[in-house]
Amino acid sequence: MSISLSSLILLPVWISMAQIQQGGPDEKEKTTALKDLLSRIDLDELMKKDEPPLDFPDTLEGFEYAFNEKGQLRHIKTGEPFVFNYQEDLHRWNQKRYEALGEIITKYVYELLEKDCNLKKISIPVDATESEPKSFIFMSEDALTNPQKLMVLIHGSGVVRAGQWARRLIINEDLDSGTQIPFIKRAMDEGYGVIVLNPNENYIEVEKPKIHVQSSSESSDEPAEKRERKDKVSKETKKRRDFYEKYRNPQREKEMMQLYIRENGSPEEHAVYVWDHFIAQSAAENVFFVAHSYGGLAFVELMIQREADVKSKVTAVALTDSVHNVWHQEAGKTIREWMRENCCNWVSSSEPLDTSVESMLPDCPRVSAVHAQTVLSSIL
């Protein structure tokens, strides 16, 4: 059995508490003091001392994983599926490793959208300057010129990006289960133009600039000798503080700040922006939406802000486990009526596909779906 450093550090405290609790009422004061000491110990910080460095590969090959011919992520040497608990009893480190792999998979899916699906990566805002933060969407060659049909895909919230439904499914199941690629390929085979939104790409992260704090001695009228003595003490204090901080938090990560993307600072803003600059400008007579989870909420918000335009251009909306709420979003009566006629929400259920599922809200019909993939057979 392995014992972590944090456990060894706390062991004497736990033993002392156990001994004290066996004593009489006179020992209550000591128990209270020890409990107060424990409350001051940051276990998360202590656990970091046991961690290997947060230094992970930046390629699938570096992780020794690859997608096989079935689109399943497998270890290149053992053929085994992805293992989350790579380091026993180090959940934070394992989570960071999982997140690092997830970022690589996001880029891998972007490549598939361009190479396998022949989509174009379009930068937004369309009038962005060279220096300002930018995002992007993906479109088929005929997305704006197809006179008949246009399919628009919106994923849910969280870590997923354009082309993904669920990162967990990509890693633990396969690409067909977790990405939008089957939807895109089927839609293009059926003669649709395609636009893939990227509603979670709302900002870029940059390292926070270090702010220089002017020491009092720099602007002081004190004699030079006294200033030098003060500066020496200040430098020694900073050295001790930095040493302590390094010990206290050896895995300290960089402090980052977020720079939001103009007119795309939220999924709702993004949906409206893409509508105004792309979907509304398309030649398609019939526009169809597929929106998953929070993507459904973003679509309802789009309807609220562009009701007349959406009604004139959108033919049908397929929602999958949508989290929209017509009451909380204050969707008007005319929107609710349109949704009842033109929307359908496929929800996770053990019932056969397309079985009616009771709804508490007076918006659109809810029917069963084993998972989002099965919706393909009903909407195209």
In this structure, are residues 353 and 378 in contact, taking their beta carbons and an 8 Å threshold? Answer: yes
Q: What is the strand order of the sheet 120-124 is part of?
A: 120-124, 135-139, 193-196, 149-154, 286-292, 314-320, 343-348, 366-369, 356-357
Give me the catalytic one of 6, 135, 293, 322. 293
Give the 3-state secondary structure of residue 139.
Answer: strand
User: Is 282 marked active-site?
Assistant: no
DSSP character for 164?
B
Q: How far apart are CA 98 and CA 35, in angstroms?
A: 35
Q: Which helix (H) or strand (E) holds 184?
A: helix 181-189
Structure token pair of residue 372: 């989002």
Structure token pair of residue 116: 């396998």
Nearest 5°: phi and psi at 204?
-110, 155
In this structure, are residues 318 and 299 in contact, taking their beta carbons and an 8 Å threshold? Answer: no
Question: Among all residues, which ones are annotated catalytic?
Answer: 293
